A and B are shown apart, each in its own frame.
Chain A
Amino acid sequence: MPVPSSGLTFSSDDKTATVQVSNAPIIDQPRWPAMDAESTPAFLDFKLVFKATDEPVKYENAVQQYRFEGFKASAQLEATIRVPSIDFTFKTDPLEASKCDFAVMGNEVNGKYYEAAQGPL
């Protein structure tokens, strides 16, 4: 989903990134991935915070033409979902209470930019 530039902010050292989105239109689709799964309009607010560690990572595949260079990271999320038509809302616990198993942050080049971008990103 497109995010206004104000929705993504970085700390002064670029080691922390915060994504904040309000009222993103989503769908509530209980029977997905059934072909005839009905959907209901819903809305999502979320705040997502990445914090980079000092452990570098580099993932590159010349055949698939992508290169990612960055750092392992932590990520935490808090969110609220609203499904107005059935008067349902769900709010996660505060950001600090969430955990995730894998996170990285850095820079990527792929496709037509892959060959052109040699050296550190």
Chain B
Amino acid sequence: MGRKQNQISNLISNLELDRRRWLKLGVTSAVAASLPGMLLRAQAAPQACSAPIPQKHEPSNGGSCPYPIPWLDKNGNHNQIPMPNVELCSIYHFKGKLARCNGFHGMGTDNHGNRLAWGTPSTDYSYMAGEYWAARQVHQAVFAHT
């Protein structure tokens, strides 16, 4: 029991050190994307938009999840830093409102009172609000990329 508690204490201690190290290095991606020593990969919970299995020989038209940009990584992991003259949207077959930003930097405080820097050149956020095409039909939705 004592040994296990010690191991956990060491683990937490190491995690804290890692956090500080990463934050000080400024390698943390924005809040959603990463934090000190721990990359906080923003990711939505599993969605109920995967392709349904047709019953009674009905046609299969795919799922209603937005279609990713074909030439970019579907998971959006540092695939392309937002900048002028690149595709800024994360959804293919999309029309609507879009905003995107990156290169955040700022400061914050953890629950132990430590002042930590956050943000990297790849800390990017966006919103996409409008119409997209999937499963051979139009969908209206609002999405955020973190």
Contacts and interface: CB of A to CB of B under 8 A. Distances in A.
B106 interface: yes
A119 interface: no
A66 B104 contact: no
Contacts of B94: 108-111, 113
Contacts of B91: 110
B106 A99 contact: yes
Given A1-B146, A106-B98, A33 B121 contact: no
Nearest to B31: A79
Contact of A4 (B42, B44, B142): B142
Contact of B95 (A7, A27, A109): A109
Contact of A98 (B41, B89, B106): B106
A26 B31 CA distance: 11
Interface string A80-91: 010100111111
B12 A90 contact: no
B99 interface: yes
Interface string B87-121: 11101111111111111111111110000101101
In this complex, the interface size class of chain B, counting residues with CB under 8 Å from chain A, is 35 or more
Contacts of B67: 111
Contacts of A39: 41
Given A2-B143, A64-B71, A89-B111, A30 B32 contact: no
Contacts of B37: 30
A26 B43 contact: yes
Interface string B135-146: 000000111111
Contact of B89 (A7, A8, A89, A108): A108
A32 B35 CA distance: 11
B1 interface: no
A121 B96 CA distance: 9
Contacts of B100: 103-104
A5 to B, nearest CB: 6
B15 interface: yes
A99 to B, nearest CB: 6
A90 B35 contact: yes
30 contacts: A1-B143, A2-B141, A17-B97, A17-B99, A17-B127, A29-B38, A32-B41, A42-B40, A44-B40, A48-B101, A59-B84, A66-B87, A68-B89, A70-B99, A77-B106, A90-B31, A90-B118, A92-B31, A92-B107, A93-B107, A93-B108, A100-B103, A100-B104, A102-B102, A104-B88, A105-B98, A106-B98, A110-B89, A112-B93, A121-B95
